[in-house]
Amino acid sequence: MKTITTILFTLGLLLAGMLASAQSKSDKMYDVFANKDGVTSFSFSKDMIDAVDIDLGDDDEKNVTGDLNRIRFMSYNPEKGSLKGSEFTKKAIALLPGKYKKYKDDDEDSDAEIWLLGGKKKYTECHIFITNENQEGNCFVVSFFGDFNVNDIDKLEAQGRDMSE
């Protein structure tokens, strides 16, 4: 009986570990802001992405190839929340673990920051943070999760911006 209990306990720990590892480390960013004033968020699962056929490329050349498993979206309205727009963006970015790397954008006037998990052109996560110039204007985060290749990161940034409008 003691052996069966030990086996069940060990299996329970393994299952809990697998379930915990299935969640992205960046989900903390969404969890911290969940149910806060001024925050609206939703996500598309793989089934929804497949059903709606969200196209992240044009007809001539696919911008993103591979498996896209989930898309998350979060908007923040500073008029309803306690943070200014830029404060929200800084706090959200600070919640990303250190292994996420910022994409160096040549456009200094850009209102978007891209943070990636992966390397070169192959990624498992891409987070686009869009901050309004007006501190009272809405800010957005669009996150892509999966196992995908990005052929043109600038086009992906533009598509993330389009999704937030």
Instruction: Give residue 57's identity as a one-letter amino acid code.
Output: G
- C-alpha distances in Å from residue 140, one per residue of 42, 50, 76, 151, 160: 12, 24, 6, 23, 9
Q: Where are the beta strands (DSSP E) in 29-81?
A: 39-45, 64-76
Dig out the tokens for 51 from the structure.
């059903």
**Does the pLDDT at position 13 exceed 60?**
no
As a whole number, the mean pLDDT across the chain is 76
Residue 93: φ, ψ to 5° = -65, -40
How is residue 131 written in tokens?
């901050």
Mean local confidence (pLDDT), 28-41: 91
pLDDT tens digits, residue range 52-85?
A: 555 555 444 566 678 888 889 999 999 999 999 8
End-to-end CA distance of the chain: 60
Name residues whose C-beta falls within 8 Å of residue 37's C-beta, 6 or more positions apart in sequence.
80, 81, 82
Longest dimension (CA), the chain: 67
Residue length, the chain?
A: 165
d(CA 165, CA 162): 5
Model pTM above 0.85: no
pLDDT of residue 108: 67
List the beta bridge partners of residue 119: 122
Which band of pLDDT confidence, cut at 50, 70 and 90, is reported for residue 133?
A: confident
Q: Does 17 score more than 80 pLDDT?
A: no
